[in-house]
Structures are given as structure tokens and as C-alpha cells.
Amino acid sequence: MPHDPGKVRLVGAGPGSADLLTVRALRAIEGAQALLYDALVSDEVLALAPAACLKIQTGKRAGRTSMKQETINRLMLRLARRGLDVVRLKGGDPSVFGRVGEEAAFLHSHGVATEVVPGVTAASAAAAQFGFPLTHRGEARRLLIATATTEDSGLTEGGWAAAADAQTTVALYMGRDRLEAAARKLIEQGRAPGTPAIAVENAGRPDARAIPGTLADLGAVLAAAAPTGPVVLIVGEVTAQAAVAAPVQAPLAEVG
């Protein structure tokens, strides 16, 4: 007899540290029979999966060769049709530039149930780790999360006007190699060149690094720092509160 279709959980692994997983994400990983994970998922998180779990790295890191989305979709479907409990594990939150809508729609169209498990996203992790808020009364009344690059790694053309308001904190994802161009776009739209800004590499991880500056000079400062890990750029008055010399680290809790 054919297996009943398994379920696919689209799970946010958070920024990397296992103690920032949600309890629901932890349980999903611990119960997985097949795990399809992105390149930014840490070894610490992967170690929580059962020894017998089938683990497949799918890539999905900007600027590097990765498995095609169509291949990932078909692989999830094939594993689910074998009756396996499949976890599609993504860095950060799957609903923030994680293609969760595309994957869920594909699986639903083939009769496979899905569940989305949220995770801590990079902007939240960066703010918590380096001691600044993303919104703040009198300084920032809204948060705008955007990507600075298109699918082919070019700079996005539209949408910059929405980030011009001085009381908007802007978090730019996937913009490490386009930071200077993104800053110019924001300044052209009216954002003050002297607006405080911060680039955080490996947000939420023990090796996180904060690189502060202003909107006008952060591109050059970041280029000199030569980060190799994922970077989130946060622009806004709130970033002036960052404790860049002493990141705020919660005591590590044993997970699993």
C-alpha cells in the first residue's frame, strides 16, 4: 500500500545559535526524519536532529552555487510522499526572504500539508545582541525590512522612497556587497547622510561583529572591515544606542 503523504514543516532556525530556536522549532528538528537545510544553518542546530535523520544541504546563500528552487521543491515532495516527516530548515525566519510562500504553494498544489514555524530574524537578533531597539518613542515609529538586491544580485530599483522618513528604522538584508549603492539610493531619496547606521555580521552568533558608522560612510567602513559572513544593515537614529564594544550576550542555555 502507498504511504500517506508526510508533512513538511518550514522551520526558522533563527540566526544560528541553538538557544535562539523556538521550542516548536526545536521539537520539529528533533523529530525530523528528513532535513533539508540552507547553508546558513549552523552545525550546532543541525546536531539536534536524530542520528538516523536524512540530512541534505540545499545551499541558498547569496553569491554562491546552490540547489535550484525547483529541485528543492521536488525533493521535498518526493520525501513527503515516502511518508517521512520532512523539515525544511531555513536561517532566520522563513517568512522573511525565505521563499516560504513559493514552497508552501508548490506542496499544497500536490496535496502535501505544511506548517510554518517562525524564527528569530537577523534584525531582531542584531538589535538584541548589541543593545539597541528597532523602534523607540520619539525616534523610530516604524520598522521597514527590505532586501537591497534582486535575484540576480543587482541593486533593486524601486521602493527606496519608503525608507526616506527619518523616523523609519530600515533593515536591509542581503546587501553586503551593494551597501554603498544602497546608501546612495537612500540619500538620494532624502535620508540624511549623517544618519547613524550599523552593519552587523553574523547577527545572533558568538562571533557577531558590529560595524558602526553613518549612512554616508558605512559602505567604505564595511569594505575595509571585509566581512565574509552574512550582514544585515540597519539604518536609523536607534542604532546610535548600540553597545558595539560589548555585545549583549545572554547566558548560554543547554538545548536538547
Catalytic-labelled residue, pool 38, 90, 93, 185: 38
Q: Which of 222, 181, 217 is nearest to 201 (CA)?
A: 222
How many Cα atoms are found within 13 Å in the side-chain-facing hemisphere of 110?
21
Task: Indicate the length of the chain as a whole number.
Answer: 256
List residues bridging with 199 in a β-sheet.
211, 233
> Is 90 one of the catalytic residues?
no
Given 60, 90, 93, 185, the catalytic residue: 60
Is 38 part of the annotated catalytic residue set? yes
| Residues carrying an active site annotation | 38, 60
